[in-house]
Amino acid sequence: MTTTPTSRTRSKKAAQVAELEASTPRWPEIALTLTDPASITVSGVTTTLTGDDPQREAVLLAARHASSNGRPIRMRVTTAGRVQRVIVTADHRVVPLDTGPARTGKPPATATAAPLKTPKAPSRPRREFRRVVDRFPRPVRWAGLALAVLTAAALVVIVAHGRTAAAADTEPVPAPAPPSGELSTELPPPGWSTRAGWVLPIAPGAVPVTDPASGVTAVITAEDRSTGQAAAQTVDPRDRWLSVLEPDGRTRYAVPLDDPPRFGPVITDVDGTTVALLATADHVRYWPLTGGPGTDIDLPTGAHPTATAGGGSVLLTLPGDRVGYLHAGTVRVVPLLPRTDPGIALDGTVVLTQPDTGAWWTVRADAAPTSTRPAPPPGAAGVQAVLAITATRVILAWTPAVPDPKTPTLIVAGYDRATGQLLAATTAPAAAAPHPTTGVVVGDDAAGVTAAGPIVLTTPAAGPPTLVVVRGFTASAVADRVYGTVTGGKPAVAAADGTATVLPDGTLTPTGTGGTFLPVVSQDRLYALQPAAGT
């Protein structure tokens, strides 16, 4: 059997479509609904399409999204009787993936405008109608014209009212706020009641993160509660969503996840925008906290993301003595400088630390590196270790100029990261300092608190900075106060005088602070605790 040119062309086109589908990630996927009213959903945010040509408008939006991501994007088109899957490229090309015959509706058109048509001469029936009209006297013709105008206006009102009512009926209805609740078998942190303003089920093992400035929370959930309709649907137990929650527990938006994240979610800054971010083995994905299209970035092989404590952005540690940061929809990679270690990432840059001098270097791909070298505190000789670095603070351990052989000590000093100014210093036993490679750094830069192991640096808006070393304490979270554990694993809070207060067994550690509420997790539920009476 001989293959005709037409069949060869079809085979080639099918191969090109198959190649495009294989190379286009399954996520993100834009959802276009062509029922009345038409709407488009991008990253969980639904927008009504009010233009005369919703298909064209949707393709333009999808092409813009594809252009910002640097690759084609998938779109699911729903009509009254069919769901059509397509891929939209940055040059406005629409490639259908489902080739079966459509029962109703149309596949989305490309963004190329249809050519203008030349007006045709009036047809014979139209000329005959004109001859009939001309037989009536002029006053009768004017009265008929007025009646026709009034009838058309009435029809417009009726149709418009019907469309408005239909739009109101189909407008997504936000899901109600989660119900209030109360802790039963666990104890609240000090100063907080067992009563929760709202309680929301979350995915098993999920750790929420809350923006202290706005009270918005990002967490992995097993259901989509962004609308009443979505919340009422039955879901697969394996399904997961990134849910961004309002301070009252309502879901601002929810994004379906194909794979469980290996990192995050975290709330951080990328290109001047506060985002909810997570990462899988080979992708970083983030969305504006306020809602809108997300960004999907390929991760270099072997990239390991870490979040900056207390603010900043996400640092990517790469093989081959390289580090990376997120900028303009890509991973910008820079080499480590000689005698430096990976530090943190700020928005659009990387900060490296130099353990032998205590200096820190600001490095970016498009500028020469700059350094800040701190002055030693009184009585200090050389730098022993860099203990902590955040977006605004640096904590260093110094060896004393006159060491005591009987009781080895060190000098711990806190600095302003931007200026290198010495903020506070104290002397502590040498064994009290955390190991620089294993110490966990937590903090809230907005509240002026940074903690690393037993070391707590506080820089209040009013009053002098303080630095204390809390013997036997290991910090694990900073919320309304510094939480952690003492020797033996018992929960405790650090006090400003350098002591630790042990809490009763079963006391929950908050996952952050929401300002007016305190988020804690118990039995795969997120509780927004309310302050205790009298506090």
pLDDT digits (tens, 9 = 90+) for 327-359: 999 999 999 999 999 999 999 999 999 999 999
pTM of the model: 0.70
Sheet holding 217-221, edge to edge: 209-210, 217-221, 240-245, 251-257
Residue 350 is assigned to a structural domain of this protein: no
Number of CB atoms found within 10 A of residue 456's CB: 28
Residues 85 and 137 in one domain: no
Q: Is the dihedral of CA 262, 267, 268, 269 positive or negative?
A: positive
Query: How many structural domains comprise the chain?
Result: 2
Q: Give backbone dihedrals phi and psi of 148, rounded to 5 degrees, phi first.
A: -65, -40
DSSP code of residue 120: P
Specify if 197 maps to a domain: no
Strand 83-88 with 94-96, pairing: antiparallel
Specify whether the CB–CB gap between 292 and 42 falls below 8 A: yes
Closest to 481 measured CA to CA, from 451, 438, 505: 451
Same domain, 77 and 128: no
In this structure, the answer to whether residues 75 and 130 fall within a common structural domain is no
Of 96, 116, 146, the one marking the end of a domain is: 96
Strands (E), 202-340: 209-210, 217-221, 240-245, 251-257, 263-270, 273-279, 283-288, 295-298, 304-307, 314-318, 322-327, 330-335
Count of CB atoms situated within 10 Å of the CB of 270: 23
In a domain, 468, yes or no: no
| pLDDT for 251 | 97
Which of 211, 183, 178, 210 lies closest to 532, judged by CA?
183
- Could you give the dihedral angle defined by the CA atoms of residues 319, 389, 189 and 198, in that order, rounded to the nearest 10 degrees? -60
Tokens 């270790």 sit on residue? 385
Q: How far is residue 351's CA from residue 535's CA, in Å, rounded to a whole number?
A: 40
Extract the runs of DSSP E, i.e. beta strands, from 401-440: 409-416, 422-429
Give the mean pLDDT per block of 10 residues along the chain (535 residues): 58 80 79 81 72 83 77 84 83 76 37 34 43 48 49 44 44 83 93 96 95 94 91 85 96 90 94 95 93 92 90 93 95 96 95 96 96 96 93 95 89 96 93 68 88 93 92 92 91 92 94 92 96 82
Residue 398 CA to residue 379 CA, distance in Å, equals: 9
**Bridge partners (DSSP) listed for residue 109:** none
* Same domain assignment for residues 83 and 133: no
- Cα(174)–Cα(163) distance, rounded to whole angstroms? 21
467 is a domain residue = no
Determine how many CB atoms are found less than 10 A away from the CB of residue 449.
23
pLDDT in the model for residue 101: 40
Identify whether residues 91 and 134 lie together within a single domain.
no
Confirm whether 301 is domain-assigned.
no
Residues 90 and 14 in one domain: yes
- How many alpha carbons lie under 13 Å from residue 212 in its C-beta half-sphere? 16
Q: H/E element holding 30?
A: strand 29-33
User: Distance between CA atoms of 41 and 77, rounded to whole angstroms?
Assistant: 11
Helix (H, G, I), strand (E, B) or coil at 333: strand
Question: Does the bond joining 179 to the residue before it have cis omega, within 30 degrees of 0?
Answer: no
**Residues whose CB is less than 8 angstroms from the CB of residue 143 and which lie 6 or more positions away in sequence, other chains included:** none
| C-alpha–C-alpha distance, residues 519 and 509, integer Å | 9
* Domain annotation covers residue 377: no
Domain assignment present for residue 259? The answer is no
| pLDDT confidence of residue 208 | 97
Which of 81, 96, 111 represents a domain boundary (last residue)?
96
| pLDDT score, position 81 | 63
pLDDT tens profile 235-262 = 788 899 999 999 999 999 999 998 889 9
CA distance 253 to 224: 8
| Inside any domain, residue 473 | no
Strands (E) across 280-321 are located at 283-288, 295-298, 304-307, 314-318
Q: What range defines the domain where residue 25 resides?
A: 5-96
Residue where a domain terminates, one of 170, 203, 229: 170
Burial (0-12, 13-18, 19+ Cβ within 10 Å), 103: exposed
Query: What distance in Å separates the CA atoms of residue 325 and residue 352, rounded to the nearest whole number?
Result: 12
Residue 109 confidence (pLDDT): 38
210 CA to centre of own chain: 11
